[in-house]
A = this chain, B = another copy of it.
């Protein structure tokens, strides 16, 4: 018998499977997908263009890849307007911290560049893939919108929409144009869809592609096609936008630019995304302080040694340590982070101590989020989701 093959790394929009050691090789992913690594140089250009310090997610390599970002910055500097497009598939009651990452980063981009933003809630996708009842998908979309709004988006520049409510008109016309450029063979190649898949799944990639084009939003941009689009997302969404970028010039549109993040690891360790269906795999925005404390102490995978004595001697392995990784996402103070890293790696700081730091950071973050979210009424959701003109939005650079 042949030796069993080690698992191969596989990443698509619905599945993330690490390689032999369970971890994701992001360099390999960049090469495979054909996107580019985000260089120091580009981060410096973002700081210069916005006149604001780069977000920690940029400095710490959490958003680490891109497509056409240099080109987008060229345009921005020349006064060509752009808008941001991101989204979420509403499959759970509350978001977990991994879900917050692209929204926290998008909020920074919206503030720094002062640009309009569209947020797609793919309730149709969740009905198609997870078999969720349509009305349950719609309800979750609105619940998730509250968590998203609580990230602090500017209502004068932000349009949130659910596919089940907003598909139609200009949006549907762009969907059909995209669907007329992509064959079944292509979605098999890009997404692995096959003969047994529902036709809704086969058609869906165009629904996620269409918001990349400004005339999908006539109430915001009229029929303008010159406005550029920048998509902040996790790198598993790259296949959608590879397809979109391929189609764009064929239907008279510009290719959207992308800025792409690593995955936020599960409490149990890297090699996957957190799962909304396993409540112990993640910290959720509606967790209590007690739940946060218990989950981190009980489930957060540690890179520290098993005995205190051994730990003091050898120190912690930051490469696999989940509390350390989480702090890299959410502890904003660079100096404090650096200090913790040194202390923990050297063994001077114990696993219990770094977990205590993380518990404090996340309890604060979640408490703030819950406070903000409590103020997000249904009226506020309606206001963000209203189809309305947005003054000065189409003029771009503020």
A80 within 8 A of B: no
CB<8 Å pairs between A and B, sample of 11: A168-B171, A168-B172, A179-B198, A179-B201, A181-B198, A184-B196, A184-B198, A185-B196, A199-B202, A199-B205, A203-B203
Query: B180–A128 contact, CB under 8 A?
Result: yes
Q: Does A124 contact B (CB under 8 A)?
A: yes
Question: A22 in the interface, Cβ–Cβ < 8 Å?
Answer: no
A7 sits at the interface (CB 8 A): no
Task: Known contacts A199-B202, A203-B202; decide if A164 and B176 are in contact (CB<8 Å).
Answer: yes
Of residues A134, A172, A193, A194, which shows the largest number of chain B Cβ atoms within 10 Å of its Cβ?
A172
A172 (CB) vs chain B CBs: closest residue? B167
A134-B173, A168-B172, A172-B168 known; A199 vs B206 contact (CB < 8 Å): yes
A195 interface residue (CB < 8 Å to B): yes
In the bound complex, how far is the Cα of B197 from the Cα of A164, in angstroms? 26
In the complex, what distance in Å separates the CA atom of A168 from the CA atom of B170? 11
Complex: A203 Cα to B181 Cα, angstroms = 13
A182: CB under 8 A from chain B?
yes
Q: A183-B196, A183-B198, A195-B183 are in contact. Are A176 and B206 (CB under 8 A)?
A: no
Q: Are A180 and B203 in contact (CB-based, < 8 A)?
A: no
Residue from the list B127, B167, B184, B193 in contact with A167, Cβ < 8 A: B167
Smallest CB separation, A34 vs chain B (Å): 22
For the complex, count residues of A whose C-beta is within 8 A of B.
41
Q: In the assembled complex, how far is the CB of residue A1 from the closest CB belonging to chain B, in whole angstroms? A: 34
Write out, one digit per residue, whether chain A residues 202-235 have a CB within 8 A of any chain B CB (1) or not (0). 1101100000000000000000000000000000
Q: Which residues of A contact B (CB under 8 A)?
A: 124, 127-128, 131, 134, 163-169, 171-173, 176-188, 193-203, 205-206
Are A166 and B164 touching (Cβ within 8 A)? no
Report A24 CB to chain B, min CB distance, Å: 29
Closest Cβ–Cβ distance, residue A6 to chain B (whole Å): 32
Verify B165–A169 contact, CB threshold 8 A: yes
Asked whether, in the complex, the Cβ of A188 is within 8 Å of the Cβ of B195, the reply is yes
Are A200 and B180 closer than 8 Å at their CB atoms? yes
Q: Which residue from chain B places its CB closest to the CB of A163 in the assembled complex? A: B172
- Nearest CB on B from A218, distance (A): 13
In the complex with contacts A172-B164, A202-B203, A203-B203, A185-B179 CB distance below 8 A: no
- B-chain residues with CB within 8 Å of residue A181 when the two chains form the complex: 198
In the complex, A165 Cα to B184 Cα: how many Å? 26
User: Hey, which chain B residues are within 8 Å of A184, CB to CB?
Assistant: 184, 193-199, 202
Q: Chain B nearest CB: distance from A144 CB in Å?
A: 18
Kindly list 15 other residue pairs between chains A and B, CB separation below 8 angstroms, not including A124-B176, A168-B168, A184-B184: A124-B172, A127-B176, A134-B176, A134-B177, A165-B169, A166-B168, A167-B168, A168-B172, A178-B200, A179-B203, A183-B197, A184-B202, A185-B195, A200-B206, A203-B203
